[in-house]
Amino acid sequence: MTAAQTSVALPRVGQGRALAVGHRGDPVAHRENTLPAVRAAIEAGVDLVEVDLKTSADGVSVLLHDDRLTRLWELDRGVRELTAAELADLGGPTDRPGVGEAPYVPRLEQALRLLTGTSCGMLLDLTSAEWVPAALDTVRAAVAGGTVRPDQVAWCGGVDALRLVREADDTARVFLTWGEELRTGLPDDALVEELRPESFNPHWQGVVPRVREWCDERGLGLSCWTVDDRETVRRVLEEGAGSVTSNRVPQVVAEVAAWNAR
């Protein structure tokens, strides 16, 4: 039995206790989408760590939100222009005193290794179908090698990206993300049938009774993002959210734990 197989199976959204999700790891304590951020979120007790994925010039799935490296890494180049090794060389000083590990743009394979033997999973956010093939290859290799169990990986992001995930993996855990689209309505039933999501995943402002009822009618869990104050975490849980994504990781872990302990 591998280390990945020894940990407790992850609950699904809406089936039992509520879940706490760290947004891009713990982006308050560390630079977002880096190994220190992912590790900190796991150690804080999240159920899922959400990370954003792109693909490097040499076809490697890496953790990065923006297409360009300007905002976080002060380099005016695009991720498609740099290899995974070049992205790893962007590391600078540590984010916090005493941390001892310089942040850099890590490979998805490295991040998945942090899950081995834990009861934590990873929610992979793909804004475009462009980023899917490398991510799928990485996850397949990690599952085959015993680094993670299949239930430790879930997917969210753009509809076109989720279509490719579902076509490639009939058992994938899919969170149907719905952002600006909520202004024009809920997903049609054909899309729900096609993607077979575990959870509907709107912005937190979409967690209202009619959306909860819509999810219930279709047997879907209800997730939401990105909630950074205690009162709103409590409100969305009361409205039926089964998972809550937040930048304030210790706070969301504590609030979700208190909710589950009622």
pLDDT computed for residue 88 by the predictor = 94
- Which of the two residues, 47 and 181, has the higher pLDDT score? 47
Q: Over the stretch 127-143, which tens digit does the pLDDT of each residue have? A: 999 999 999 999 999 99
Nearest to 64 by CA among 37, 32, 90: 32
pLDDT band at 181; cut points 50, 70, 90? confident
27-44 per-position pLDDT tens digit: 999 999 999 999 999 999
Q: Which domain holds residue 164?
A: 4-260
Lowest-confidence range among 41-45, 49-53, 180-184?
180-184
- Measured in residues, the chain has a length of 262
| Total domains present in the chain | 1
- pTM attached to this predicted model: 0.94
pLDDT mean over 213-224 = 98
CA distance 124 to 38: 12
Residues 26 and 37: beta-carbon distance below 8 Å: yes
Q: What is the CATH number of the domain that holds 166?
A: 3.20.20.190
Secondary structure element (H or E) that encloses residue 193, with its range? helix 189-195
Distance of alpha carbon 129 from alpha carbon 66, whole angstroms: 15
Please give the average per-residue pLDDT across 104-128, as a whole number: 98
Judged by DSSP in three states, 64 sits in coil
**How confident is the model at residue 92, as a pLDDT?**
63
Pairing of strands 48-55, 61-63: antiparallel
Cα gap 255→232, rounded to integer Å? 10
Query: Per-residue DSSP letters for 129-163?
Result: GGGHHHHHHHHHHHHHTTSS-GGGEEEEE-HHHHH
Rounded Cα–Cα distance for residues 230 and 106 (Å): 31
Pairwise CA distance, residues 16 & 64, whole Å: 32
Amino acid 87 reads L
